[in-house]
Amino acid sequence: MSDVVLGSGTNRIGNGLKWALVAAINLLLLYGVTLMYAQGEMAFALLVLIITATANWVFLSSKAYSYRYVFPALVGVLVFVVFPLIYTVNIAFTNYSSTNLLSLQRVKEIHLAKTYETGGGSYGFSLYQNGESYQLNLQGKGDNKHSYTTEDFYLMGAEGVDAIQVTTLDGSSEPVGEKLAIKALIKLRQGLKKVQITLPDGTGLAMTGLRSFGAIAPVYQAGENDTLIDSRSGAVLTPDHATGFYIDEHGERLSPGFTVYTGWDNFIRVTTDEGVQEPFLKIFVWTVSFSALTVVFTLAVGLLMACLMQWEPLKGNGVYRLFLILPYAVPAFISILIFRGLFNQNFGGNYSAPFI
């Protein structure tokens, strides 16, 4: 009797752990879906949500027990074959390009973050470090005799923020900490470029050189209906949903642009634009020919080699099989090296926008 009770208690504990693990995995995946949705990646969020819901049904329902063995393979086909195909077809109906990668809202934020030097005064500066915090001491140049000391600010983790807002203290305040040499300023210049200082009179300053800060102002102001107003000329730029760019009254486009659906325009251009039609036809014919010949020769040579490897009088079959498998292993290794270079923090795909 005691063994039965003990076994029952063990089963309850096992079931409890199983459901706790399932709940934890679901919460983690739903958190990822929420992040994707917040970033505007609707397609990826929907894909993960569908896979999560299907996995719960397959592995938790007794009616779907037989699908558990093929589910991983079906997910692989969906993620690596079906989804990329649908995603690519969807992109073909948009103006997606190197200048039209982002959404309208993100493009608007980029333009609103642009600044220019107003010529309202230039300041030399010295940087002081006190533990993990920093202070800037600003000294006016030329006829500008003002000097200011900023409040404490932090540069650690500045890579993930657009700007570091810093206010100033009165001119009599002295910075605290160790004055850093030019060598240290060079190492910290990426973080210092994100520092935006507000003087007591409301003037904004930003780094304009390795040894100077200058007065800046935003290039554009937000208008109604997603329009932008040029602070320098007063010109109004409106989003053109046909081309995917902000344009002014003269029709000039402002880069970067945003992604919009263009319908069949890309396909019509392929068949009517001579500059695109001729190279497209050459590439299309070559691709079809290459694919057909690859299948035919791969099948023929593969069958021939398979027959040879099974031929009993042939000596050293193991060595030949080793040489035959190497071409399949080497491309994966090369891909690893390529992606290692792409994700290199110093020389890979990272890009820092210059001051405007």
**pLDDT value at position 6?**
47
Q: For residue 66, what pLDDT is reported?
A: 86
Which of 224, 203, 225 shows the shortest CA–CA distance to 215?
A: 203
Q: What is the C-alpha to C-alpha distance for residues 213 and 353, in angstroms, rounded to an integer?
A: 18
3-state SS, residue 300: helix
Q: pLDDT value at position 4? A: 46
Three-state secondary-structure class, residue 103 = coil
Residue holding tokens 């600010």? 153
CB of 182 within 8 A of CB of 161? no
Say whether the peptide bond before residue 313 is cis (omega within 30 degrees of 0). no
The pLDDT, as a whole number, for residue 289 is 96
Rounded to whole angstroms, how far apart are CA atoms 218 and 221? 7
* pLDDT tens profile 81-112: 999 999 999 999 999 998 999 999 999 999 99
**pLDDT reported for residue 258:** 95
Q: What is the pLDDT of residue 356?
A: 36
If you search the block for the tokens 């570091």, which residue do you land on? 164
What pLDDT, on the 0 to 100 scale, is given for residue 228?
96
Question: pLDDT confidence of 31, banded at 50, 70, 90?
Answer: very high
Cα separation, 121 vs 146, in Å, equals 10
Q: What is the pTM of this model?
A: 0.65
Indicate if the pLDDT at residue 341 is higher than 50. yes
Q: What is the mean pLDDT of the chain?
A: 85
Q: Is the pLDDT of residue 278 over 70?
A: yes
Cα gap 95→265, rounded to integer Å: 9
- Predicted confidence (pLDDT) per residue in 200-215, tens digit: 888 888 888 888 998 8
Q: 146: which residues sit within 8 A by CB, 6+ positions away? A: 121, 138, 140, 171
Per-position DSSP letters for 32-76, written without gaps between them: HHHHHHHTT-HHHHHHHHHHHHHHHHHHH-GGGGGGGGTHHHHHH
Q: Is the pLDDT of residue 246 over 90?
A: yes
CA angle 271, 278, 86 (to 5 degrees): 55
Query: Residue 178 CB: number of other CB atoms within 10 A?
Result: 11
- Average pLDDT, integer, range 220-231: 94
pLDDT value of position 71: 92
* More confident of the two residues 272 and 334: 272
Whether residue 8 is predicted with pLDDT greater than 90 in this model: the reply is no
Confidence (pLDDT) at 348: 60
Predicted local distance difference test score (pLDDT) of residue 158? 58
Model pLDDT, residue 350: 47
Residue 253: name the closest of 266, 265, 236, 240 by CA: 240
Is residue 127 over pLDDT 60?
yes
Whole-angstrom distance, CA of residue 355 vs CA of residue 195? 12
How many whole angstroms separate alpha carbon 311 and alpha carbon 126?
Answer: 80
Residue 38 confidence class, pLDDT cut points 50, 70, 90: confident
Predicted local confidence at residue 157, as pLDDT: 63
